[in-house]
Every structure is written in structure tokens, then in C-alpha cells.
Amino acid sequence: MTRDFATPPLRRGLSRIAEPYVLFPIVAAILLAVVWGSTLSVIKVEYGTADRAASQSTLELAETYEAQVVRVLREIDQSLKFIKFAYESGNGRIDLADLKSKGLLPPDLVFTVAIANARGDIVASSRAPDMTSVAGQEFFTELRNEPVSVSRPLPTRVAGEWKLHFNRRLDRADGSFAGAAIVSVSATYFVSGYETRKLGESGVLAILGRDGIFRVRRTGDSLYFGGVTSYRTAMPVDVDDSPAVTLNRWDHVRRYTSARELYDFPLAVIVGLSEAEQLAPTDDRVNTYLWRAAEGSVALILVLAGLGWMAWKLTQTRVKAYRALQDEIDIRQVAEHALNLRNRAIESSVNAILILDASLQSYPIEYANPAFEAITGYQAGEAIGRGFEFLLGAEHDQAGMQEIRHALRERREGHAVLRNFRKDGRPFWNEFYIAPVRGDRGEVTHYVGVMNDVTEAKSYEEQLAHQANFDSLTGLANRNLLQDRLHQAIATARRDAGSVAAVFLDVDNFKLVNDSLGHDVGDELLKVVGERLKACVRESDTVARLGGDEFVLVLPTKGDAASIENDVIGVVRKLLAQVSHPLVLGDRPIRPTCSLGVSLFPQDGEDAATLLKNADAAMYRAKELGRNRFQFFTSDVNDRIRRRLELESSLRLALERDEFELHYQPQVNLREGGIVGVEALVRWNHPQKGLIGPSDFIGFAEESGLIVQLGDWVLRRACAQNKAWQEEGLPAIPISVNMSARQCEQDDIDQVVARALDESGLMPKYLELEITESISMANPEQSVPLMWRLKETGVALSIDDFGTGFSNLSYLKRFPVDRLKIDLSFVREITTDPGSLAISEAIITLSHSLNLQVVAEGVETQGQLELLGDRNCDLIQGYYFSPPVTADAFAALLREDRRLPPRKITHDAPALIM
């Protein structure tokens, strides 16, 4: 569409003129101008013609009237002249009757002829005279100087009749004034004889004397006699052929007026036709013309106004239509904009959006957005026209789909999580919403479907659900699920009069494996154990991992007490055997073993918690009894457990109550036989139970964290005691203190040590710290710097229980240690088990090659002593020389300088080892 501003101003102006509301008034103005122009010019012509006609009529009338009056006057004058002649020639004698009879006088019906003598007395008259004397009359006296005179109209005895007297001077023979000849005539005579029709109501015929006195004047049918006006003004200056309209002074009427002087008498005739009357027909016509023009104009205006109104209406309608169209366009633009926005939003939605045709049973897809393509892998083109259920693959009867179908059937919203398949066949979880889209009449025409790929969330959910019930490492049931299963098994057993065996299993020395070989290897071992356990039981049995190295098996059984026990024993033996198959983990051969505790429903516990607790207690007992075995729950086990629990709770108070004490075990030099060192070993002097060894409480102390405080106390006590002995003057020897794993984890352990030395005043070289092999090897990255920090305080370091862990010996050379202590389990069997001897020998050789001293722990016999001595062991410690003793007892040993009995060297030890 071309816009207005694109066209030049001229064209714009023209096109605007073409608009009816401009064009119609212009046309109207032109037509009105034409109509009125021609009407006015016709009027002008009409008036011109009428004017001329009136002028002409006036002229003609004037000429006729003049001729008539002149004729009468001549007749009168001839009569006067004849009477004068007759009078003068008859010397004053005249016989009027004679003259009359001879027909020399004018007809006396109209005229009266009379003779006045010089005194003015009427001396003769053709009829009875109106007056007997004219002596006083103006017209008579005038004759003394003038030959003729005309009287002003004079009334007669007859009412309404006025007469004019025409007079001629009579002279005597001597020429003196002799009197007057008088012809009298009715003034009316001069103006009668003209039809009013010709003259009109306002036309005038008049005879005016030069004295300005009207002799007679007729206007219409009215007659006037006398009356004065200005003769000069009454006479037109240019008496020509076309009389003009003048205002007649005497009666103030505008008339076409013509006036002519008469020369025989001092008179003039005046003829006037009323302008109004003369132009009346023209006025009528003109009025008609004007009316017609006006009517025509009004009609024209009405027609054009009508047309204009219609055009205006049309324009209005057009404007309205245009506005409506504009509005429509605006609305459409807004709608289009909104639609575009929605389209873009739909297109960029991360959720797949589908529009389904509700008119067909299969609900075919009409539209699919790009997210649909991204999620399913199908192009929109491939999906459009297909029923949306094609995404279900073969799984048509999913529970979620039932809900969607219901919603579709009931024409309502629906929501379900569906398992759908991508184009490449991979399944995905689709959180699907549908909502009906209604048409104008409220009928459902479409459905909009929103797909949300919740595969990740779903798998996470599944993972969570799995995690909630299964152990992530082994895949076995976890504590949660175990509880459920155990409850279930108990409930079933209760109902069916059956039984349930709860088997508590703990991997022996697992901590050792974990600490020395690392957590990865530990985890691996747990997995293997888990698999082996599962392999031993029925599918319906439960194998659970409680955490750490603890497993629980739930074995429902049936039958009499004996057969149940037999069954359970069978399974438990199988478990022991299976678990202890050797395997290689982290390049090391391992033979894992486990300890098991068994409790039975209903005799050992009516509920899950009790059953588990008792199985745990039985397992503990199995450990105490030497591991790699199983133990049924008994009342004896129960007692022990109770005692343990009591111990655990009173341990917390023991520190406050100062119930701990240290015992001291000497270390003696194998060559010289004298005491060269001492190990401080902690004891708990329980108020009721007497002296308790560390193996009964160090474990809890470790677990509860109490070991940190206890360790600190031991350290300070040992330092102080050693210093006290030195101050007593006893030989100065180093004192060994055992360090626990928890203690070693303290960041400021070196400060703790330094403080203990400081407080006691003991020189650092008289303190030695024992760190077990498992602690030192568990995480060398940590233990190497730790050992160096400790070493920097000036103390000596030794590795305790050496040989029991799975040491990576290459670390040894990085440890700043002074001694290795061979674990007493080797020493115990050194005389009977060649393996133990070989290990002991290897440790001694290794130590020496690294410049370390070797201490053999737990030397009880002469044989052991000699073997070790032969193998060049440096120091020994054990009951053979002395058990751990009180401080006083130990001071006594020092004081008396107790020594090993001298020993004869039988072999060259280094040569033997080589």
C-alpha cells in the first residue's frame, strides 16, 4: 500500500479534492454561482426591459397628454381671442348669446364664457356665472400687466368641483385696460378621459402653473386641486426621449416622470408613472426567478448535502472499516508476536513438546519440537503422523501407560513416568504430562504432551533405593535390609513354628590387612569374603554386610533342636572353609580367616536386636578363643559380654580416678646380659576386678578415643619414673613407651612428646617410642614424616610386633628407626617351628644390614634365648628374664644389677645366617 507521504504534495492536494467532502462543496459553489449569476443577469435584463418599457410608456403618455391639453388650450385661447376681437371691434359691446348661437363660442356644456369690465364686474356670461365680480381675483389683477392669465383652481358652488379661469385682457381703443374675457372650465376636464388602468393607482397626470401651483393633479382616481411644488424642480433639466425615475416631491412617490412646458399659457403638463407599479410585474417575475433560483439552490444544496452526507457516511464507514482493519492488524500483530514468542519458547524448550491430534483413535503426533528430536533421536518428520505410543517399543502395557490412556479417554490431564525407547533402541525414562487442548466450543481437539527425560534422575533414584538397602562395596544387603529380612524371617518362623539362625561373622586380623596393605586391598578382601559367603548359602538366605569387616547371615531353618543345630553347624563349617581358601591380593598371598558367632530364634532371642547382639557376643567369644572358629551363643558368653560392657563404661571414669599404673619389663643385652632398657606397659588397677591387662581395654580405649588421654598419661608417667630412677642414682637406661594409632594421628604428637620430656626433665635419649608395624606401614606417606618429626625431638624409635604385618620392606630404610622388635608369636615358636625361626633369622639379618638393633619379645625359655643368642639377636625381653613388674620391683632389679647367666657361644651366627 502506498502511503500518503510517499506522494508529492500536488498529487496529494488533487487527490484530496477528489474526496467527496471537498469536491461536493466546490461543485455546489460553482453550480450556485452559475444559477445565481444567470438568475441575476436575467433579472438585470428584465429590469432593463421593464425600465425601458416604463420609460417609453411615460413618454407616450406624456406626448398624448400634452397634445390633448395643448388642443384644449388652443381652443380656449381661440375663443378668448375671438371674444377680445369681438369686444374691441364692437367698442365694448358684445352679445354672447348671438355669438353662441352662431357657434362661435365653445360648447357651454363644458366651458363658461364671461366678460368682466375694468372694475371686475361680470358684465356678460354664457351661462349663469359662478362669480358676479372678479375684482379681487389674482388672475384679474394680473391682466393689468399681462395679456393672459390662468387662475388657480377655484372652488365652485357645486361641492368638489373646481374651476380654472383662462383670461385675456380686453383693451379699450386707447389701449387702456377695459376688462377681461374669461373662459372657465372644470379643472377635472383636463385629467378625465384617462383610464386608471393605463395610469395605474399611483400614476400621475397634472397641470402645473409656472407659479408652482398645481391647477389639477390626478393620482389614480384621486383628484387634487391646488397644492404647491417647486416648478423648477418639477421640470426635468433634460427633457429627452427617455424619462427617468425621479422622486416626486409633492407626494414623495418615485415615478417615471415627464414634464413639458406649454407656451400659450404659463403652464406645464406633468405625467408620471409609478415605478413600483411599472416594475411590479417584473418584480413578480424576478421574485419568481429568485424563488426558483433559491429553490434550485436549496434543492442543489440538499442533493449535494445528501450526497455529501452519504459520502461522509461512506468515508466514516471507510474510516471505521480502516480503523477496524488497523485494529485487526494490530491485534493480529500482537497475536502473531505472542504466537512467535510461544513458538520460539516451545522450540527452545528443553522438554520435548508434542501436539497430538485428538480426533483420531491413535492420537497421531502433529507437531514435535527440537527437544523431542534431541531426546528421542527421531526427526520431527519421522514422528509426525505416527501414534505417540510408538515410543513405547514392545512395552505397551506399562502401568504408567494405563494412566495416560485413562486420561485420554476421560479427556483430562494426565501424568506418568513411562519407559520409552530412543531411535537407536536405548531405553529412557519419560516423565510424561498430557493436557487437553480445547476448541472454541469447548471440545477437545488436541492434546499437548510434555516429555521430560528423567533417566538420570530415575537411575539416581534406583541407585539411592539400592544404596538404601544394599552395601555399595559388596552388593550384599546392608543393615537396613538385614533388619527387614531378619524381622521377616522371625515372623515367618513364629508363624510356622520354625527357627532362624543369625550368624555374626568377623574377618580375623582384617585391621592388619587394611592397615598394612592399604584400603584397596582391604576392600578387595571384603568383596571376596562376601562372594564366598553367598556361595555357601541358599538363595533364600540373607547375607548382609554390617560395615567394616562384619557380616551377618540370616538362615531360616526347620526341624527339631538337634537337626537345626546340625544344619547350622554344617553351614558354618562350610563358611569357615570357604573363607579360608588362600588367595592373592595386591601381589601378596593371603589366607583370610574369620570368626563366627551363632544365635538361634527363639531360644537365644525373641527379636532381631537380641538375636544380633547375642550372635555378636558369640563371635567375640570365638575371637577370644583364638579366631578362625565358630561359637554358639551360651549363657557363659552372655556373662562375658556383660562384663565387657561394664568394663567399657567404667573405663571412662578410670582416668579421672587415677586407676591406671605402669609396669616395667626389662630389656637385656644378650652379649653382656645386663639390663639396657625397659618397656613401660600399662595396667588398669580396677577397684573390684583387680589388675586388668592392656589387651582387655586398649581396644575400647582406641575405639572411644580415650587412648589419646591415656597415652599422654603413660608417656608422662614413664618419663617421670625414669627420671626418678636416675635421680635415685640408678643406672640411666632408655624407657620404651607404646604408641597407639590414634596417638600417632595427632598433628602435634611431637609437641606432646617434647612436653612430657620437658616436664619430667628426662633427656630425650632416655626415651624410646614403639610404633607397631601395622601403624607404620599402613600409610608410609604419613608415617615417614611423622617418624622424622618424632626423631627430631631426640628420642629413639622402634618398630613393635615386627613380622606380623605385611610390610613392604623397602620402606624400612626410609624410617628413622633404631630398633625392630620381633613379635612374640615368632619367638614363641622359634624352637618348634622352622618357619618362625627362619623369619626371626631374616628379621635379624635385615636389621643388621640396615644398622638396626633387634629386640626379641616374649622370650620365655633358655632354648629360645640360646637360639636368639646364636642368631646374633641384640636384646631380649620376656618372662625368662623378668615379667613386667612394678616400679619399685624394677628399681630393685636395677639396683642389684640383675643379669642373664653367662652363655657359651656355640655358633658363628652371622656365618649361619649367610
- Grid coordinates in use for 213? 401651483
**How near is the Cβ of 908 to ligand C2E at its closest, in Å?**
27
- Least distance (Å) between residue 701 CB and ligand C2E: 8
Q: Which does 200 bind (CB under 5 to 8 A by kind): Mg ion, ligand C2E, none?
A: none
Q: In the set 372, 878, 890, 909, which binds ligand C2E (CB under 6 A)?
A: 878
Question: Strand 122-125 relative to strand 111-117: parallel, antiparallel, unpaired?
Answer: antiparallel
820, 854 contact by CB (below 8 A): yes
To the nearest 10°, report the CA torsion of 238, 241, 243, 244: -70
Q: Contact with ligand C2E (CB under 6 A): which of 682, 692, 839, 867? A: 682
The torsion of the CA quartet 698, 703, 708, 710, rounded to 10 degrees, works out to -30
Cell of 586: 595386591
Q: What is the C-alpha separation between 498 and 788, in angstroms, rounded?
A: 62
Q: Which of residues 784-803 bind ligand C2E (CB under 6 A)?
A: 800-801
Alpha-carbon distance of 428 to 380, in angstroms, equals: 18
User: Does residue 698 belong to the site contacting ligand C2E (CB under 6 A)?
Assistant: yes
Q: Which of 155, 306, 439, 693 binds ligand C2E (CB under 6 A)?
A: 693
Check if the beta carbon of residue 430 is closer than 8 Å to that of residue 423.
no
117 binds, among ligand C2E, Mg ion, none (CB under 5 to 8 A by kind): none
CA–CA distance, 685 with 664 (Å, rounded to integer): 15
3-state secondary structure 428-490: EEEEEEEEEEECCCCCEEEEEEEEEECHHHHHHHHHHHHHHHECCCCCCECHHHHHHHHHHHH
Which residue's CB is nearer to Mg ion, number 515 or number 770?
A: 770
Tally of helices (H runs) and strands (E runs) in the chain: 28, 33
Parallel, antiparallel or unpaired: strands 444-453 and 427-438: antiparallel
The only residue of 77, 283, 357, 860 in contact with ligand C2E, by rule CB under 6 A? 860
Contact of residue 85 among ligand C2E, Mg ion, none (CB under 5-8 Å per partner type): none
Which C-beta is closer to ligand C2E: that of 514 or that of 665? 665
Q: Closer CB to ligand C2E, residue 277 or residue 801? A: 801
860 binds, among ligand C2E, Mg ion, none (CB under 5 to 8 A by kind): ligand C2E
CB of 665 to Mg ion, least distance (A): 9
Are residues 469 and 477 in contact, defined by beta-carbon separation less than 8 angstroms? yes
Q: Which is nearer to ligand C2E, 529 or 698 (CB)?
A: 698
Residue 193 interaction partner, one of Mg ion, ligand C2E, none, beta carbon < 5-8 Å per kind: none
Question: Which C-beta is closer to ligand C2E: that of 130 or that of 768?
Answer: 768
Q: How far apart are CA 700 and CA 697, in angstroms?
A: 5
Question: Contact between 857 and ligand C2E (CB under 6 A)?
Answer: yes
Phi-psi sector, 794: left (phi>0), alpha (psi -120 to 50), beta: left
State the CB neighbour count (10 A cutoff) for residue 40. 14
Neighbours of 571 (CB within 10 A): 22
Q: Of the ranges 346-354, 511-519, 689-697, 846-854, which one interacts with ligand C2E (CB under 6 A)? A: 689-697
Which of Mg ion, ligand C2E, none has residue 187 at its interface (CB below 5 to 8 Å by kind)?
none
Q: Which of 879, 895, 905, 910 binds ligand C2E (CB under 6 A)?
A: 879
Quick check: bond before 883 cis, omega within 30?
Answer: no
Near ligand C2E in 800-829, by CB under 6 A: 800-801, 824
Q: Which one of residues 455, 740, 836, 853 is an interface residue with ligand C2E (CB under 6 A)?
A: 740
Nearest Cα neighbor of 141 from 109, 116, 106, 108 is 116
Using CB under 6 A as the binding rule, whether residue 125 contacts ligand C2E is answered as no
Taking the least distance from each CB to ligand C2E, the nearer of 236 and 694 is 694
681 part of the interface to ligand C2E, by CB under 6 A: yes
CB of 689 to Mg ion, least distance (A): 23
Is residue 665 part of the contact set for ligand C2E (CB under 6 A)?
yes
Element containing residue 42 per DSSP (H, E)? helix 20-89
Q: For binding to Mg ion (CB under 5 A), which residues are involved?
A: 738, 770, 800-801, 857
Q: How far is the CB of 821 from Mg ion (least distance, A)?
A: 6
Q: Of these partners, ligand C2E, Mg ion, none, which one is at the site of residue 522 (CB under 5 to 8 Å by kind)?
A: none
- From the list 33-41, 92-100, 589-597, 693-701, the region that binds ligand C2E by CB under 6 A is 693-701
Which listed option, ligand C2E, Mg ion, none, makes contact with residue 879 (CB within 5 to 8 Å by class)? Answer: ligand C2E
Cβ at position 823, least distance to Mg ion in Å: 6
CA distance 186 to 106: 14
714 binds, among ligand C2E, Mg ion, none (CB under 5 to 8 A by kind): ligand C2E
Check if the beta carbon of residue 756 is closer than 8 Å to that of residue 715.
Answer: yes
Rounded Cα–Cα distance for residues 12 and 27 (Å): 19
The CA distance from 176 to 118, in Å, is 9
685 touches ligand C2E (CB under 6 A)? no
Contact in structure between 522 and 514 (CB atoms under 8 Å): yes
151 vs 877, beta carbon nearer ligand C2E: 877
Cα 898 from Cα 366, distance rounded (Å): 104
Q: Smaller CB distance to ligand C2E: residue 213 or 714?
A: 714
| Residue 884 binds to ligand C2E (criterion: CB under 6 A) | yes
Q: Which is nearer to ligand C2E, 271 or 769 (CB)?
A: 769
681 binds, among ligand C2E, Mg ion, none (CB under 5 to 8 A by kind): ligand C2E
Q: Which residues, in sequence order, are CB contacts of 149 under 8 Å at separation 6+?
A: 139, 140, 142, 143, 166, 167
Spatial contact of 191 and 221, defined as CB atoms under 8 Å apart: no
Closest by CA position to 271, among listed 208, 210, 213: 208
- Point out which span in 177-185, 298-306, 308-316, 855-863 binds ligand C2E (CB under 6 A): 855-863
Could you tell me whether strands 154-155 and 796-802 are parallel, antiparallel, or unpaired per DSSP bridges?
unpaired
C-alpha cell read off for 339? 504466537
User: Residue 541 or residue 679: which is nearer to Mg ion going by CB?
Assistant: 679
Residue 682 partner contact from Mg ion, ligand C2E, none using kind-dependent CB cut-offs of 5 to 8 Å: ligand C2E
Please choose, out of 58-66, 538-546, 637-645, 854-862, the segment that lies near ligand C2E by the rule CB under 6 A.
854-862
Nearest-CA neighbor of 253 among 232, 276, 222? 276
694 binds, among ligand C2E, Mg ion, none (CB under 5 to 8 A by kind): ligand C2E
Q: Which does 878 bind (CB under 5 to 8 A by kind): Mg ion, ligand C2E, none?
A: ligand C2E
Nearer Cβ to Mg ion, position 105 or 681?
681
Q: How near is the Cβ of 597 to ligand C2E at its closest, in Å?
A: 24
Task: Verify binding: residue 858, ligand C2E, rule CB under 6 A.
Answer: yes
Rounded CA separation 676/171 (Å): 222
Give the one entry of ligand C2E, Mg ion, none that residue 858 binds, where binding means its C-beta sits below a cut-off of 5 to 8 angstroms depending on kind.
ligand C2E
**Number of alpha carbons in the 13 Å side-chain half-sphere of residue 21:** 7
- Residue 273 or 771: the one with the smaller Cβ distance to Mg ion is 771
DSSP symbol at 156: -
Per partner kind, with CB cut-offs from 5 to 8 A, the member of Mg ion, ligand C2E, none near residue 259 is: none
Q: Which is nearer to ligand C2E, 668 or 682 (CB)?
A: 682
DSSP 228: B
What DSSP line would sit under 609-646, residue for residue? HHHHHHHHHHHHHHHHTTSSSEEE--HHHHHHHHHHHH
Q: Which residues contact 441 (CB under 8 A, 6 or more apart)?
A: none
In whole angstroms, the minimum distance from the beta carbon of 761 to ligand C2E comes to 21
Applying the rule CB under 6 A, the residues between 49 and 78 that interact with ligand C2E are none
Interface ranges with ligand C2E (CB under 6 A): 665, 681-682, 693-695, 698, 711, 714, 738, 740, 800-801, 824, 857-860, 878-879, 884
